[in-house]
Amino acid sequence: QELFTDHRISNQHGANVYTANISFTCSGNGAITAIKCGVDEYIREIQFTCSSAERIETFGPFGFLSDRLGEVSCPPGQYISSFLGKVRQYVQLLSIRCRDANTLNGKGTIQSNTIETDDPNGNDFDDLAYSNGARPVSVRLWISDGIDSIQIDYSNQPVERALKTVMVRNEREQQA
């Protein structure tokens, strides 16, 4: 098995209020293709979807329930190549860039839909510099009563070219 040694850990975006954290990694050559969040004045809960040729995996939701949901996802055949947004005490705004599954290079396209809270002010972050020749392979979260901060591990691990199409649903929707 090939070892992928080109790892680039992004800055921790947001406050490090609590040491308790959550992390996950997409299995195999799966890639993050969608994010769903519960929002109000900040992002309170977050769920990630990973896609590969064989399966669609969901991680989360992590955090606390919120009545309003926001969602960003890549078009079919694309994956999240980098994250950008705004942070203060919590993550206030989250957006993504998507890249075609055939490449690890290039900037990717910023998606027009953004997960936006009631108060989308804060300090900007943009992980574009970490993503050339790499992609997000794992995510680490710090959570108190909202998503305090997010940190992404970018690696040169290849992406499966035949990603399954994503229908983002969280546990609350599946139980309804």
Q: What is the mean pLDDT of the chain?
A: 82
Give the predicted TM-score (pTM) of the model.
0.84
* pLDDT tens digits, 39-67: 998 999 999 999 988 889 999 999 988 88
Phi, psi of 159 (to 5 degrees): -110, 140
How confident is residue 10, by pLDDT bands cut at 50, 70 and 90?
confident
Judge whether 124 and 86 are in contact, CB under 8 Å: yes
How confident is residue 84, by pLDDT bands cut at 50, 70 and 90?
very high
Q: Is 71 exposed, middle or buried (0-12, 13-18, 19+ CB in 10 A)?
A: middle
